[in-house]
Amino acid sequence: TVRRLGALDPSRLPPGTELMDAGIRGVHLAYRLLEGYHTLVLVDLVSRGSPPGTLYTIDVGPRPPDTGHRPGPLDTHAMDPATVLGLLHDLHAGAGGTLPDEVYVVGCEPRDTGEGIGLSPPV
């Protein structure tokens, strides 16, 4: 995903579009999302039991709902979209800011979720 983001030509994106590789910085992403973004598209692995490489587009809806998903001690390697959205609500309740109007998750079914760099061939 990071390589693909780096290959995109920013001049071909709609005005106001920002690309960010949050990686393991889910906490920073949640804080940044309170700055008044209209639409958020998260790209991540989504395990639903389909063949590896299967793509999903999930319309989370207007204003990200409170997923109720809260991490115990923060593990930056385990911050999936549900955890980031839950943290976003906690931060919004405590610090204010503006939640995104629309939230989408583009997910790819992984073959291997073990630690390491790179993607498996079907992904």
Q: Report residue 115: phi and psi, to 5°.
A: -70, 145
Instruction: Summarize pLDDT for 80-94 with one digit per residue, the tens.
Output: 777 777 788 778 878
In the prediction, which pLDDT does 56 show?
Answer: 93
Q: Please give the model's pTM, rounded to 2 decimal places.
A: 0.74
In the prediction, which pLDDT does 69 show?
Answer: 59
Contact 47, 110 (CB under 8 A): yes
Instruction: Summarize pLDDT for 26-81 with one digit per residue, the tens.
Output: 788 888 888 888 888 888 888 889 999 999 998 887 655 566 655 566 666 667 77
Please state whether beta strands 39-45 and 102-108 pair in parallel, antiparallel, or not at all (unpaired).
parallel
In the prediction, which pLDDT does 118 show?
Answer: 67
